Amino acid sequence: MQAKDRIILALDVDTAQEALGLVKQLTDYVGAFKIGMQLFNSAGPDIVRQVHELGGKVFVDLKLHDIPNTVGSAGKVLTRLNSFMFNVHAAGGREMMRKVARDASEEAMKLGIGAPLILAVTVLTSISAQELAEEMYVTDMKVEELVVKWALMAQESGLGGVVCSPREIVPIRQACGSDFKIVTPGIRPLWSAANDQKRITTPRQALEMGADYMVIGRPIVQAEDPREAALKIINELEA
Ligand code: C5P
């Protein structure tokens, strides 16, 4: 994989106009664009088609979590949009993950297109050990253990990878092997501001720990010259 293809640019904006402006500028400098609930819910699913028209691939980051049939059906719709990746919560359970993996792959086959890479979100990185114990009543396990268990369950259910924090890359890679895709946010080159990210990793460190893809937003989007910022990251990854 080329270094550029590892970068997923987070389109954390409200309007299609802003998003498409970024896509036009950066399609040749990143591997894909992440459309999350902010942009998807304001611009609608047609934004995925519009990004495709400009030559970009799309990670639809909607973190689906519902009964198996509902998530399976939504997975078919996201497959029809020809998304490159989308994600579901591992907390939805084994049956839900199996169903969405099966439904998306059947739909892709029917359409004669490649099946999207479906990723599991394990424990949200915003959840602390204390919240896990006091609000989710998981008292017999550390966050990292639960993350690895859920990553394995996602893999056994037929999903292709996980989204996780940089600090979880190594144990997940160890447990799930080299084919399982690991996508990580919380990436900050040394020359950029941390913003609200607390446990950060440079692109190079994430790559060395075993990440396949990195989600990067503000270090590129808020740079004076976003293309130059993306190029700098590419160079660091290739160094
Ligand atoms: O601007 P920044 O590089 O911090 O953007 C990171 C992107 O990754 C945002 O879209 C954010 O919602 C997402 N994300 C994250 N940390 C997580 C999960 C997702 O920063 N644990």
How many whole angstroms from 55 Cα to the centroid of ligand 1?
23
Residue 27 within any structural domain of the chain: yes
In the predicted model, what is the mean pLDDT of residues 166-172?
96
Confidence of residue 198 (pLDDT cuts 50, 70, 90): confident
What phi and psi values does residue 204 have, to the nearest 5 degrees? -60, -45
pLDDT digits (tens, 9 = 90+) for 121-146: 999 989 999 999 999 999 999 999 99
Residue 44 within any structural domain of the chain: yes
Q: Which ligand 1 atom minimizes the distance to the CA of 216?
A: 3
Residue 124 within any structural domain of the chain: yes
Would you tell me how many other CB atoms lie within 10 Å of the CB of residue 75? 27
Q: Which ligand 1 atom minimizes the distance to the CA of 126?
A: 21
Burial 79-117, CB ≥16 within 10 A → b, else e? bbbbbbbbbbbbbbbeebbbbbbebbbebbeeeeeebbb
Percent of the chain residues topping a pLDDT of 90: 96
Ligand 1 pocket: which residues have CB below 6 Å? Answer: 10, 12, 36, 125, 165, 185-186, 195, 197, 215-219
Closest C-alpha residue for ligand 1 atom 10: 10
Catalytic sites, residue numbers = 63
Residue 78 within any structural domain of the chain: yes
Asked if residue 103 has pLDDT above 90, the reply is yes
Closest C-alpha residue for ligand 1 atom 15: 185
The domain spanning residue 204 has which CATH number?
3.20.20.70
Domain residue limits at 39? 3-233
77 by Cβ neighbours in 10 Å (0-12 / 13-18 / 19+) ranks as middle
In the predicted model, what is the mean pLDDT of residues 93-105?
98
Residue 239 within any structural domain of the chain: no
Residue 238 within any structural domain of the chain: no
Q: Which ligand 1 atom minimizes the distance to the CA of 125?
A: 21
Any bridge partners for residue 87, and if so which?
119
Total domains in the fold of the chain:
1
Residue 161 within any structural domain of the chain: yes
pTM of the model: 0.96
Q: What is the pLDDT of residue 175?
A: 98
233 by Cβ neighbours in 10 Å (0-12 / 13-18 / 19+) ranks as buried
Q: What is the pLDDT of residue 88?
A: 98
Percent of the chain residues topping a pLDDT of 70: 100
In the predicted model, what is the mean pLDDT of residues 34-61?
98
Q: What is the pLDDT of residue 197?
A: 85
